Amino acid sequence: MSARRHVIIGAGLAGALLALLLARRGHRVDVFERRPDQRLRGYEGGRSINLALARRGLSVLEGAGLGDAVLRRAVAMRGRQVHPLGAEGSFLPYGRSDAECIWSVHRGRLNHLLLDAAEAAGARVHFHHRLGLVDFDARRAEIIDDRDRRMRWIDFDALLGADGAGSALRNAMQGHADLHPETAPLDHGYKELEIPPLPGGGFRIERDALHIWPRGGYMLIALPNTEGTFTATLFLPHKGRMPNFEDIETAAQARAFFQHTFPDALALMPAFEEAWISHPTSSLATLRLRHWHVDSRAVLMGDAAHAMVPFHGQGMNCAFEDVAALDRLLALHGDRAEAFAAFEAERKPNAEAIQAMALENYVEMRDSVDDPAWRLQRALELQLAERHPGRFVPRYSMVSFTRTPYAVAFERGRWQRTLLADATRGLGALEEVDLGALDARITAELAPLPVEWLETAR
């Protein structure tokens, strides 16, 4: 194989979308994907794994012409359904109206849609093909066909790394750029469980919500699937303070733990033991790099560049924003090294901001929703959001319902949280807050968000 070309490593969410956008611009695009083509197994093959799609991810998909196709099979999650232990549950809306929701989408189906569109646009996707070594000086990459272990060298113009958290391209780039990778493992892991539909079909719990069972220090969550199932995920420390994964050695111990801690959720899982045993306990980490590219020859995006913990549901959304930015900057800069440098300069501060906010959101999800001080601040936050639309926008809303750059959302969120904490300190109810004084501070010190970040597209 010869010729100058864009070579994408990985046909996951970022790689498939990038292939589509670059092929549409007329580039010659080859994608190498380690796994088999999941489309051959049919749409419903494999386990139902769902992801939360937020406004910024949806906007990128709409820009690619795929918004309607994605939403057709998505379930709207309009708020948190909180399940306390031994008390009445409550529903906390995410936004100010039903239009402000996040969407639960089927990972396999979304990936299939992106791959179909990429191939229709002319991209070539080579499944079962894994990146091995890279000779950056000769601009040649070793590609291994996993079916027969045969290896061949291909020439590339640029290598675009969308090969996920365990990126092979990242490893290959190490000798050629000061990547300085730092992995910060989370001391909590997760295990996926399943809530099946009711025997006659239908959802066992509220469909249009993201369910949380906060237990202080750990939690269970569940996201709806279109088929009436929910994918539930237990987040727990690996070891140390009880309860933890290491000390739950058998399925019987797991049942006892659930019976004690999540009895209502356990009642929704008829095949609990089977799932507990067959699903692994997985790890979570934040990955930070000093640089994301090697001059004009290689660049990383998505999880390969900035894997994050899942607690804001933004990994895919951020990866889609990366792809849109890279596509735009490649078209803007004649010089590819300049485009890659501009991409890193634009996206790295934003990736770092969402990584930090994702870590913080774990604490909020598992602990704060039970805390009266937090609830008071949240009530005031909603009140101020009503009084200052487009200006005082809750951080969760900026992240999930707008395209405000993550770094800006982080910064404004910090300012807003300080204001909320100061204004409610020592108070017991919303009526005691001096709203007039807050209004004055907000209009004086907080600029309105630019409309282009607020537009819900279409």
d(CA 435, CA 426): 16
Q: Which is nearer to ligand 8R5, 259 or 283 (CB)?
A: 283
Residue 82 interacts with, from ligand FAD, ligand 8R5, none (CB under 5-8 Å by kind): none
Regarding 11 and contact with ligand FAD (CB under 6 A), the answer is yes
Cα first-last separation, the chain: 41
Identify whether the C-beta of residue 142 lies closer than 8 Å to the C-beta of residue 131: yes
From the list ligand FAD, ligand 8R5, none, partner contacted by residue 4 (C-beta under 5 to 8 A by kind): none
| 10 touches 160 (CB < 8 A) | no
Among 225, 229, 286, 317, binds ligand FAD (CB under 6 A): 317
Q: Which residues ranging from 151 to 170 are in contact with ligand FAD (CB under 6 A)?
A: 162-164, 168
Residue 400 Rama label (left phi>0; alpha psi -120 to 50; beta):
alpha
Q: Residue 351: which H helix or E strand, with range?
A: helix 336-366
Say how many C-beta atoms besides its own lie within 10 A of residue 28's C-beta.
15
Q: Rule CB under 6 A: choose which of 51, 172, 186, 409 binds ligand FAD.
A: 51
What's the token pair of residue 269? Answer: 């899982």
Out of ligand FAD, ligand 8R5, none, which partner does residue 312 contact, by CB within 5 to 8 A per kind?
Answer: ligand 8R5
Residue 291 DSSP class: -
According to the binding rule CB under 6 A, does residue 284 interact with ligand FAD? no
Strands (E), 241-362: 285-288, 293-294, 298-300
Of 34 and 139, which CB lies nearer to ligand FAD in the complex structure? 34
3-state DSSP assignment of residue 9: strand
- In the sheet where 150-155 sits, what is the strand order? 129-135, 140-145, 150-155
344 touches ligand FAD (CB under 6 A) = no
Where does this chain touch ligand 8R5 (CB under 6 A) — which range of 255-263, 310-318, 329-337, 387-395? 310-318
- 316 touches ligand FAD (CB under 6 A): yes
Distance CA 124, CA 19 (A): 8
Contact between 92 and 82 under an 8 Å Cβ cutoff? The reply is yes
Q: Cβ closer to ligand 8R5: 144 or 308?
A: 308
* Helix, strand or coil, per DSSP, at residue 23: helix
Distance (Å, whole) CA 226 – CA 66:
18
By CB under 6 A, name the one of 31, 141, 158, 223 that touches ligand 8R5: 223
Q: Are 217 and 231 in contact (CB under 8 A)?
A: no
Q: Does an H or E element contain 112, and which? A: helix 107-120
Q: Is 81 in the site for ligand 8R5 (CB under 6 A)?
A: no
Per partner kind, with CB cut-offs from 5 to 8 A, the member of ligand 8R5, ligand FAD, none near residue 221 is: ligand 8R5
Q: Which of 262, 311, 343, 410 binds ligand 8R5 (CB under 6 A)?
A: 311
Does position 357 bind ligand 8R5 by CB under 6 A?
A: no
Q: Which of 50, 46, 449 is nearest to 232 (CA)?
A: 50
Is residue 313 at the binding interface for ligand 8R5, with CB under 6 A as the rule?
yes
The nearer residue to ligand 8R5, 159 or 305, going by C-beta atoms, is 305
Among the listed residues 19, 74, 113, 131, the single contact to ligand FAD using CB under 6 A: 131
* Residue 38 binding result from ligand 8R5, ligand FAD, none, given CB thresholds of 5 to 8 Å by partner type: none
Is 80 a binder of ligand 8R5 (CB under 6 A)?
A: yes
Q: Which does 14 bind (CB under 5 to 8 A by kind): ligand FAD, ligand 8R5, none?
A: ligand FAD
Q: Pick the closer one to ligand 8R5 by CB: 169 or 369.
A: 369
Site size for ligand 8R5 (CB under 6 A): 14
> Considering the rule CB under 6 A, would residue 310 count as an interface residue with ligand 8R5?
yes
Residue 161's DSSP bridge partners are 9, 300
Residue identified by tokens 């300190």 is 425
Nearer to ligand FAD, 316 or 369 (CB): 316
- Residue 426 Rama label (left phi>0; alpha psi -120 to 50; beta): left
Q: For residues 394 and 382, is the Cβ–Cβ distance under 8 A?
A: yes
Q: Name the residue whose CB lies closest to ligand 8R5.
A: 313
| CB closer to ligand 8R5 out of 165 and 442 | 165
Report the Cα 33 to chain-centroid distance in Å: 21
User: What are the helix (H) ranges across 388-434?
Assistant: 395-401, 406-424
Dist. CA 309–CA 295, nearest whole Å: 29
Residue 365, contacted partner among ligand 8R5, ligand FAD, none, CB below 5-8 A by kind: ligand 8R5
Q: Which residues bind ligand FAD (CB under 6 A)?
A: 9-15, 32-35, 49, 51-52, 130-131, 162-164, 168, 302-304, 310, 313-317, 319
Q: Which residues bind ligand 8R5 (CB under 6 A)?
A: 52, 80, 102, 190, 210, 221, 223, 233, 310-313, 361, 365
